Amino acid sequence: MACRDLTKGETAAQEIREVTGNKHVIVRELDLANTKSIYQFAENLTQEEKVISILINNAGVMMCPFTKTSDGFEMQFGVNHLGHFLLTFLLINLIKRSAPARIVNISSLAHNFGRINFNDLQSEKSYDGSSAYCQSKLANVLFTRELAKRLKDTKVTVNSVHPGCVKSELTRHSWVMALAWKILTFLIKTPKQGAQSSIYCAVAEELEEVSGKHFSDCQPAFVAPQGKNDETAKQLWDVSCKLLEIQWD
Ligand SMILES: NC(=O)c1ccc[n+]([C@@H]2O[C@H](COP(=O)([O-])OP(=O)(O)OC[C@H]3O[C@@H](n4cnc5c(N)ncnc54)[C@H](OP(=O)(O)O)[C@@H]3O)[C@@H](O)[C@H]2O)c1
């Protein structure tokens, strides 16, 4: 478990150990809003572990006030997209050596309302928390699409997921969304239900060769046209590498 708050992470890990009887649940510090932390986490992990069979890129922040990561990226684009992009880059060789392996990127239905604003990716000119969230979730879908192409014939698959509307702390920055989640309570999934599509993509035998797809409710889900645009996916990939000063190929 990669968590920025070790106390919170350790409490959750202890609960998992008690419920499952699995003592091998390990918590490590990872702040996706800080590239130094991502490099440190990846370095420690690649030294400690010989195999990574499944990577679930789950962390997310929604509709926060305009803030920047330690590296000066807009928070939602920085954490939701760039943080996971860099983490995956740093772990990809070990993941490939561990094949068959799977990567699962947690996106959202919100990708439908997103567009990648290449003229103002970091929302420096104008910021709208909701648009920035939708952009970052579209970025998850496009990242999945381009990565799947690059992982062809490696026996490493990557898919994206909309977990559903789930009772969680995601609405912490938006009272409107928090209220909507309360009103629509009969439609809201429990965390256990919300985890099912991610788990499905991580372990379902029938998905062994499925890559570059989007899932919800443990089945293939609709992808908005802007999430199927190969040119945008490639452009986003190149810009992300440039911003992070990495060379993927
Ligand atoms: N809940 C929904 O209805 C819903 C719908 C569609 C998609 N999603 C997606 O599902 C994923 C999980 O969200 P959730 O609903 O479980 O929300 P959540 O309860 O707020 O969980 C988000 C997690 O991300 C972590 N996180 C945030 N910033 C981080 C950073 N800089 N470094 C490391 N970890 C960080 C948070 O850590 P802390 O605990 O320390 O804050 C928290 O554990 C997100 O990608 C979200 O976009 C959720």
Measured from the Cβ of residue 241, the count of other Cβ atoms closer than 10 Å reads 16
Domains (range + CATH), the chain: 31-244 (3.40.50.720)
CB 71 within 8 A of CB 83: no
| Residue 166 in contact with ligand 1 by CB distance below 6 A | yes
**Reduced to 3 states, what is the DSSP secondary structure of residue 174?**
coil
153 CA from centroid of ligand 1 (Å): 31
| Residue 56 in contact with ligand 1 by CB distance below 6 A | no
Q: Residue 215 is encoded by which pair of tokens?
A: 């899932």
**Reduced to 3 states, what is the DSSP secondary structure of residue 219?**
strand
CA 107, CA 136: separation in Å to the nearest integer?
A: 8
Task: Classify each residue of 161-171 as buried b or exposed e, where b means 16 or more C-beta atoms within 10 Å of its C-beta.
Answer: bbbbbeebebb
CA 249, CA 247: separation in Å to the nearest integer?
A: 6
20 CA from centroid of ligand 1 (Å): 23
- Could you confirm whether 200 is annotated as catalytic? no
| Residue 134 in contact with ligand 1 by CB distance below 6 A | no
For the chain, the farthest-separated pair of C-alpha atoms sits apart, in whole angstroms, at 51
CB 130 within 8 A of CB 63: yes
| Residue 55 in contact with ligand 1 by CB distance below 6 A | no
pLDDT value, residue 169? 95
Kindly give the number of the ligand 1 atom that is closest to the alpha carbon of 59. 24
CA distances from 229 to 5, 106, 144, 157, 223 (A): 36, 19, 12, 19, 10
pLDDT value, residue 226? 98
pLDDT value, residue 195? 98
Per-residue pLDDT of the chain (249 residues; tens, 9 = 90+): 999 999 999 999 999 999 999 999 999 999 999 999 999 999 999 999 999 999 999 999 999 999 999 999 999 999 999 999 999 999 999 999 999 999 999 999 999 999 999 999 999 999 999 999 999 999 999 999 999 999 999 999 999 999 999 999 999 999 999 999 999 999 999 999 999 999 999 999 999 999 999 999 999 999 999 999 999 999 999 999 999 999 997
pLDDT value, residue 249? 79
User: 6-34: per-residue pLDDT in tens?
Assistant: 999 999 999 999 999 999 999 999 999 99
Closest by alpha carbon to 220, among 151, 148, 161, 150? 161
Q: CB-based contacts of 80: which residues, under 8 Å, 6+ apart?
A: 59, 60, 61, 133, 136, 137, 139, 140
pLDDT value, residue 200? 98
User: 168-179: per-residue pLDDT in tens?
Assistant: 999 999 999 999
pLDDT value, residue 246? 98
The residue whose CA is least distant from atom 24 of ligand 1 is 59
